[in-house]
Structure 1
Amino acid sequence: MSRGYSEQDVEHYDRPRRRGTRPRTKERPSFDDAVEGVVVTVDRGRFTLLVAGIQVWAVKARPLGRKGVVVGDRVRVVGDVSGVDGALARIVAVEPRATILRRTADDDDPIERVIVANATQLVVVTALADPEPRHGLIDRALVAAYDAGLSPLLCLTKADLADPETLLSTYRALGVPWVVTQRGGDLSALRERLTGHASVLLGHSGVGKSTLVNALVPDAHRETGVVNAVTGRGRHTSTSALMLALPDPGPDGETSWIIDTPGIRSFGLAHVEPEHLIEAFPDLDEMTEECPRGCTHAADEPECGLDEAVERGDADPERVASFRRLLDARSVSPY
């Protein structure tokens, strides 16, 4: 027979699961004794948190209902936060999120899926060869970054196999910062870009995300894989997102974080509106003030302010074309 909830359990105060019943008590807990933590990974309804530097395992309290808790969330926790084997705490509140990186399964899927909360930078990891770079996913990832208010960074791996200039020329007009790496090479430029950020690493399977994570955080022990010689695609090695602290603190002593994510095979952008995307480019946004109502700023829009700005010589044609490629990425397959 299962035990009843005591006053020490937050579920003691929750409404029973039968329709038409009243709460067990009118007195709701204040959780004044709750401590703060950050979610570092999620596995089948169990959450791993860092609470004052201690790794704690937790479940979500029933009063949170269907409210999702994701990697990067800052939460309030009650219960056993000692971190000893077998200890289990409860997440009773999720603090407001500063940023939300999300996607949909497909472009016509209305259900949004939150990938990570409270990140500040999206690192789009792409191999220059083996597997070949896929512009579709890069463009979609940039769109998601701009929509979420994250700073984008291109991280080009396997530079020993191909010249990075071919790919960089495509994105230079957008002003996206970039770093180039190769296996066993110097990662100081990448570390500098990661300092002071909570950075999400995103990319196709096989591009080298887990290899980078292991090099940046030597005790991460993320499994690495190989690229299939027939399909040219990598095998999923990371099965869940994992947030890790970089070993070296920033100049002000702050902790920098990286979040390794599973390889992406679909990245829907049904949640992104054109007006949100143009806001990420203030110079171009200013040129659309005289656009007709409902203008999406795409290449086939009549009387778009971007076209008029190009004709006047006020806008860089390559930058406008690059922005419109990102617009098109919302409806073009990344494969």
Structure 2
Amino acid sequence: MNRRYSEHDVEHYDRPKRKGSRPRTKERPTYDEAVDGVVVTVDRGRFTVIVEGRELWAVKARPLGRKGVVTGDRVRIVGDTTGAEGSLARIVEVAPRSTVLRRTADDDDPVERVLVANADQLVVVTALADPEPRTGLIDRALVAAYDAGLAPLLCLTKADLADPETLLSTYRSLGVPWVVTRKDGDLTELRERLAGRTSVLLGHSGVGKSTLVNALVPDARREVGHVNAVTGRGRHTSTSALMLRLPDEAGWIVDTPGIRSFGLAHVEPEHLIEAFPDLDEMTEDCPRGCTHGADEPECGLDQAVEAGQADPERVASFRRLLEARSVPAYLL
């Protein structure tokens, strides 16, 4: 018997993966006693998991190897799942993910970083002023949402400081839904958009994500930051993605750290256009390898515009999203 692990620990069944090593037993663990949970945050190799309404700490079992576990993952857990002080459970299985929101550190970085799993809506939070809105991140976030199969939603904050119409006119042709909020304003419309869904809140530091989270989940107590008067940029207040249940079990929201770069090295043009079925249909006769950009010869989108079959503004907006992939991520 291994001195470190009892017969009830999944690690008991596996040797380290060394050449020539053999399993200690042919009887593999079945995890019949494992319970289901959802990962709500990750902190230095430890995972906070919600199991049957209670919160507990867990680590990743060794048989999972290098398989990553992220916020939003649905997992199975063994060990002490009481959530009592000092208890520790082990994650032994990760369920297949329905969606994956990912990014790269930069556009030439081959390493993808999964931000959140199993979400179904990406809420792009943008301040209309203080700090000024930067469409580069909005465009890239929309690209990431379409690529991941998430429904996008624009949430424009600080409407008491600026008129939202200027920014909305840029995205109206894409058909992206939006909500507008203001300081101490009514959040009924936003709550309706979040109800029954798992929504990821994404945006620059200082745009008001944590303020929204505290208003939506009163006991969240997320730290609220301020915008630097010189640089016009916010200070990071959240350090890791945190998944929170909305009151009355109306859904989940994931508060993510404020970001300053959002690489899209993993996104292919042909995958992006699939999120726009009306435009995708017009590219069936495009030459092989066509990226559907503005400089592509004989692109079906241009032909559709010339024939009056496509809205020029919608095509231009789609191409702006394509171009967002080539703008250096650190300039966002």
What TM-score comes out, normalization by structure 2 length? 0.98
Question: 2 CA distance for matches of 1:3 and 1:223?
Answer: 44
2:282 equivalent among 268, 278, 287 = 287
> What is residue 299 of structure 1 aligned with on the other side?
294
SS in 1 for 2:247: coil
Question: 1 CA distance for matches of 2:144 and 2:18?
Answer: 41
Q: Which amino acid aligns with 1:285?
A: D
- 1:46-65 Cα shifts (integer Å, max 9, x gaps): 00000010101100000000
Deviation at 1:21, TM superposition (A): 1.9
> What is residue 7 of structure 1 aligned with on the other side?
7
> What is residue 117 of structure 1 aligned with on the other side?
117
1:183 aligned onto 2:178: no
Question: 2 CA distance for matches of 1:229 and 1:20?
Answer: 62
1:70 aligned onto 2:70: yes
1:258 aligned onto 2:253: yes
Question: 2 CA distance for matches of 1:137 and 1:265?
Answer: 8
Question: 2 CA distance for matches of 1:141 and 1:107?
Answer: 14
Give identity over the alignment, percent: 82
Question: 2 CA distance for matches of 1:101 and 1:13?
Answer: 33
> What is residue 83 of structure 1 aligned with on the other side?
83
Question: 2 CA distance for matches of 1:222 and 1:143?
Answer: 28
> What is residue 197 of structure 2 aligned with on the other side?
197
Question: 2 CA distance for matches of 1:130 and 1:3?
Answer: 59
Question: 1 CA distance for matches of 2:288 and 2:175?
Answer: 28
- 1:147-194 Cα shifts (integer Å, max 9, x gaps): 000000000000011000000000000000000001111000100100
Question: 2 CA distance for matches of 1:54 and 1:230?
Answer: 44
Question: Could you tell me whether the CA contact under 8 Å between 1:179 and 1:190 is conserved in 2?
Answer: yes
Deviation at 1:16, TM superposition (A): 3.0
- 1:175-214 Cα shifts (integer Å, max 9, x gaps): 0000000111100010010011100000000000000000
1:277 aligned onto 2:272: yes
Deviation at 1:4, TM superposition (A): 2.4
Q: Which amino acid aligns with 2:269?
A: P
Question: 2 CA distance for matches of 1:300 and 1:28?
Answer: 57
Q: Which amino acid aligns with 1:215?
A: A
Deviation at 1:66, TM superposition (A): 0.4
Question: 1 CA distance for matches of 2:163 and 2:128?
Answer: 7
Comparing 31-40 and 15-24, the one that deviates more: 15-24
> What is residue 54 of structure 1 aligned with on the other side?
54
Question: 2 CA distance for matches of 1:210 and 1:303?
Answer: 47
Deviation at 1:18, TM superposition (A): 4.4
SS in 2 for 1:154: strand
- 1:243-267 Cα shifts (integer Å, max 9, x gaps): 0000034xxxxx4000000001110
- 1:281-317 Cα shifts (integer Å, max 9, x gaps): 0000000001001000000000000000000000000
Q: Which runs of 5+ in 1 are unaligned?
A: 250-254
Aligned counterparts, 1:179-258, within 5 A: 179-249=179-249, 255-258=250-253
- Number of residue pairs matched by the alignment: 329
Q: Which amino acid aligns with 1:69?
A: V
Question: 2 CA distance for matches of 1:246 and 1:120?
Answer: 15
Question: 1 CA distance for matches of 2:27 and 2:45?
Answer: 28
SS in 2 for 1:248: helix
Question: Could you tell me whether the CA contact under 8 Å between 1:48 and 1:58 is conserved in 2?
Answer: yes
1:136 aligned onto 2:136: yes
Question: 2 CA distance for matches of 1:11 and 1:263?
Answer: 37
Q: Which runs of 5+ in 2 are unaligned?
A: none
SS in 1 for 2:122: strand
Deviation at 1:3, TM superposition (A): 3.9
Question: Could you tell me whether the CA contact under 8 Å between 1:16 and 1:23 is conserved in 2?
Answer: no
RMSD (Å) for aligned C-alpha atoms: 1.0
SS in 2 for 1:108: coil
Question: Could you tell me whether the CA contact under 8 Å between 1:16 and 1:24 is conserved in 2?
Answer: no
Deviation at 1:17, TM superposition (A): 5.3
